[in-house]
A and B are shown apart, each in its own frame.
Chain A
């Protein structure tokens, strides 16, 4: 697959029911495929990361970002969508 389409969704906040489902629903509605998920609980904070593929995404990056942030707000957690290059570039040569 085309690596350039990879992005990372991070969710940070208080753990509660429905976080993964809420975020995954937004992604599915726009045909965004989830490639990988991991989650940890650090000092009572729920941290989830998803590697997603935006290749088939039917809305533009900003719109998807806004919807995810909005979903996060309704769940009481902070959601971010960032292009994967930022992580690759910062930590890899």
Chain B
């Protein structure tokens, strides 16, 4: 081989893709819809449809060209838009279902599988547009296919909006009821955030933040299988060595994301935003974050030691990836969605992983309580309290946390809800039965922590 290319490196790249499920998980085009807001809802819808179609019409063909050119699968092509509460507000409308239907049609037209940004940022309180959006969520999520929603209910700087958290417990229950025939699928498209990032390319929580440019191209890499294979080559190495192995692997994975992001953005004529260095599992065997933790020496994910192993993994992924890209952003770390990770599913089914342990893990992972199912009869206030706990972890630790929970209609612990496709299957986890109702009913705001006072 010529000096530029070593055979072992070429083979390593090919092995990563073919045997270890390495892929670009998502190429997400962020589009500002701020200039689509008008005082008439119909006009706003027309403008949104036209703009999304115009800006995104070449996204899928260009991404497919790049896939072929580099031989790297790009699994998802997606769109993120300005939080719709901001775009819909000048119309004065109280029902935002037409806005979600417009996004759904535009997404179908340009061939993307999800469009994120049916969102509201209410960490300190509501405007009329925020109310309209949140109240429209159950209908929007049950009557559209591709629209993803998120609500930011807290930040480290603002504290937690407990009124929003109380409302969202009810909204999630209603969404599950309206999509009961699909196992509560609507809930899988709704993320409740604390400290939501404005440039996250991953669904369901992607939106195009207010500080973003007109358009931006963000890329989410993946690669749990690659990290797993690398760790398995070091069965007795100490944990410092394991951290180095993960860093080296994350570096290579991220370089690939950087290359793809630059090529796609160049061909689309859109600024390159960020690479999100996340380990995003799939239900494919070996493409599992839980199995990475187990490969470090835990019998099952959820055993004592799991939080420490995840902390090591999450940190090493960031350190390796940060060196490989000029712009890192989004969530960047290890995702631990239950339903989308075969190892997590097994750990729950075998009783190794419980909800309290999962919550502890979210303190050191990149997002939060993600894609897990609780019994269908879980009261709304319990879901609200669960969200409050998770948001408090994010607020106090200055990190993003999120909840994406499915109160699986008609199901009990031990049942399994099939959400389908990339979203996988979630074993229903038991929830603490003692009531937080009076706490949730108080409402109001939980003040920002002392560490927010850093000016």
Contacts and interface: CB of A to CB of B under 8 A. Distances in A.
B71 to A, nearest CB: 4
B10 A83 contact: no
A10 B14 CA distance: 9
Interface string B31-73: 0000000000000000000000000000000000100111110
B259 A89 contact: yes
Interface string A1-20: 00000101010100000000
B68 A65 contact: yes
A40 B12 CA distance: 14
B347 to A, nearest CB: 32
Contact of B4 (A47, A62, A84): A84
A32 interface: no
Contacts of A47: 7, 11
A44 to B, nearest CB: 15
Contacts of B4: 6, 51, 84, 88, 92
Contact of A87 (B10, B69, B258): B10
Contacts of A90: 9, 13, 252, 255-256, 259
Contacts of B434: none
A36 B1 contact: yes
B2 interface: yes
B69 A91 contact: no
B1 A40 contact: no
Contacts of A35: 2
Interface in A26-44: 35-36, 38, 40
A89 B256 CA distance: 7
A40 B1 CA distance: 12
A6 B255 CA distance: 19
Interface string B375-392: 000000000000000000
Contacts of B13: 86-87, 90-91
Contacts of A65: 68
A61 B5 CA distance: 20
A61 B69 contact: yes
Contacts of A40: 7
B78 to A, nearest CB: 22
A80 B18 CA distance: 11
Given A51-B1, A84-B5, A8 B258 contact: no
Interface string B100-122: 00000000000000000000000
Nearest to B72: A86
A85 interface: yes
Nearest to A91: B9
B14 to A, nearest CB: 6
Interface in B1-32: 1-2, 4-7, 9-14
A49 interface: yes
Contact of A8 (B10, B252, B255): B10
Interface in A63-93: 65, 80-92
B10 A10 contact: yes
Contact of A86 (B2, B11, B256): B256
Interface in B296-310: none
Given A10-B10, A47-B11, A80-B14, A87 B5 contact: yes
Interface in B68-110: 68-72
Contacts of B70: 82-83, 85-86
Contacts of B259: 85-86, 89-90
Given A89-B255, A90-B256, A36 B2 contact: yes
A87 B2 contact: no
B10 A49 contact: yes
Contacts of A91: 6, 9, 12-13, 252, 255
A85 B262 CA distance: 12
A65 B13 CA distance: 18
A48 to B, nearest CB: 10
Nearest to B66: A83
17 contacts: A10-B10, A10-B11, A38-B1, A47-B11, A49-B7, A51-B2, A51-B5, A62-B65, A80-B71, A83-B70, A86-B71, A86-B72, A89-B256, A89-B259, A90-B252, A91-B9, A91-B13
Given A36-B2, A47-B7, A89-B256, 4 more contacts: A8-B10, A65-B68, A85-B259, A86-B256
